[in-house]
Amino acid sequence: MQAPPGHTLITTEDGSTTLHSQRFDETCHSTSGAREETRIHYLEGCRVHELLTKHSHVHLLEVGFGTGLGWQETLALSQQVPTTFLTFVSLELDEELVTWALPQATRYQAGERVWYQQDFPTAQLKVIVGDARTTLPFWEGHLEKFHGIYQDAFSPRKNPTLWTTQWFAYLGSLSLPGARLSTYSASISIRKALHAAGWGVFPGAAFARKKSSTRACWNESSDAGLLAELEKHPTPPLSDTETP
C-alpha cells in the first residue's frame, strides 16, 4: 500500500496501520496499536454498541478522519446491529487523505461545500472537507444532533483551534442531551476547557503509555474528584483568545 502525499505509513504493534503526517509531524494513532486505541478511546469511549442497541438511528461525529480507521471500526460494529441506521459525519482538512482512504466514495460539491459520501444498506458516511472550524458551521443546518463525538484532532500544539472552550461549547450545541465526547487527551487544560464549555468531564481509559484519557457527557456534572483535582491546577482552560 502506498501512503498518501505528505504521509508515511506505519505498522503499529497490533498489526493495523497508521499514518505519520509530515505537515503536522504527528502520527494519527499510538504506535502501540491503532485499531486497539480506536476501539478503546472512541467505540468504547462513546459507548457506541450501547447507542446502536438503544436507538434506531445513531448520529456520530468525528473530528479528524485521518486514515478512516475510526469509521471502519464503527461501520463494522454497526453491521452487528443491522436494525439500526448509522450516520457517521467526519471532518478532514486534507482532501488527499480522504481520496486515499475512500477510493469508492463519491465527491460532491455545492458552492464552497465539498464532501465525500458513501452509502451502505444501514449506514451513511459523510466526510466534510476543509478546516473543521469553518466547515461545521457551514453544514450545521443539514445535520441532526449527535449522540457521540470522537474528538481526534492532532495535539493542541498542532491543532490549537480544535481544543478550545469555544470549540467544545460549539460541539455541545450540536449534541443531544447526554451525548458523549471521547478523546485520547488527558491534559488539564483540555479537561478544563470541556468543563468550562458545559461538558461533564470524567477520566477515561488508559492505553499504552498514556495512563488516562478523557470522556465527557453533554450537560451533565463533572466527576467531583476530577473537578477538585483540576481546580488545584493554575493552568487555564484552552481558549480561542490564545490560539494563533
Report the alpha-carbon distance of residue 30 to residue 171 in Å, rounded: 25
Alpha carbon separation from 156 to 15, 18, 26, 112, 163 (Å, rounded): 27, 20, 11, 27, 6
199: left (phi over 0), alpha (psi -120 to 50) or beta: beta
Size of the site for ligand SAM (CB under 6 A): 21
- Comparing CB distances to ligand SAM, the nearer of 88 and 154 is 154
Buried b (16+ CB within 10 A) or exposed e, 103-130: eebeeeeeeeebbbebeeeebebbbbbb
**Piece in contact with ligand SAM (CB under 6 A), picked from 61-69, 137-145, 204-212, 236-244:** 61-69
Tell me if 36 sits within 8 A of 45, measured CB to CB: no
Tell me if 156 sits within 8 A of 192, measured CB to CB: no
Q: Which of 100, 154, 167, 207 binds ligand SAM (CB under 6 A)?
A: 154
Contact status: 37 vs ligand SAM (CB under 6 A): no
Contact status: 123 vs ligand SAM (CB under 6 A): no
- Comparing CB distances to ligand SAM, the nearer of 154 and 207 is 154
- Comparing CB distances to ligand SAM, the nearer of 100 and 200 is 100
**Piece in contact with ligand SAM (CB under 6 A), picked from 51-59, 62-70, 188-196, 233-241:** 62-70
Q: How far is the CB of 163 from ligand SAM (least distance, A)?
A: 11
Q: How far is the CB of 172 from ligand SAM (least distance, A)?
A: 18
Report the alpha-carbon distance of residue 118 to residue 79 in Å, rounded: 15
Report the alpha-carbon distance of residue 185 to residue 5 in Å, rounded: 27
Q: What x/- string results for residues 124 through 153 when contact with ligand SAM is judged by CB under 6 A?
A: -------xx-------------------xx
**Piece in contact with ligand SAM (CB under 6 A), picked from 76-84, 93-101, 190-198, 232-240:** 93-101
The grid cell for 243 is: 490560539
Q: Give residues 157-186 in contact with ligand SAM (rule: CB under 6 A).
A: 159, 162
Contact status: 70 vs ligand SAM (CB under 6 A): yes
Q: How far is the CB of 16 from ligand SAM (least distance, A)?
A: 10
3-class state of residue 39 by DSSP: helix
Alpha carbon separation from 100 to 14, 63, 118, 158, 238 (Å, rounded): 22, 18, 14, 22, 33
- Comparing CB distances to ligand SAM, the nearer of 127 and 230 is 127
> Which residues fall within 8 angstroms of residue 51, CB to CB, at 6 or more apart?
58, 147, 148
Q: Which of 91, 105, 123, 171 binds ligand SAM (CB under 6 A)?
A: 91
The contact set with ligand SAM (CB under 6 A) reads 28, 38, 62, 64-67, 69-70, 91-94, 97, 131-132, 152-154, 159, 162
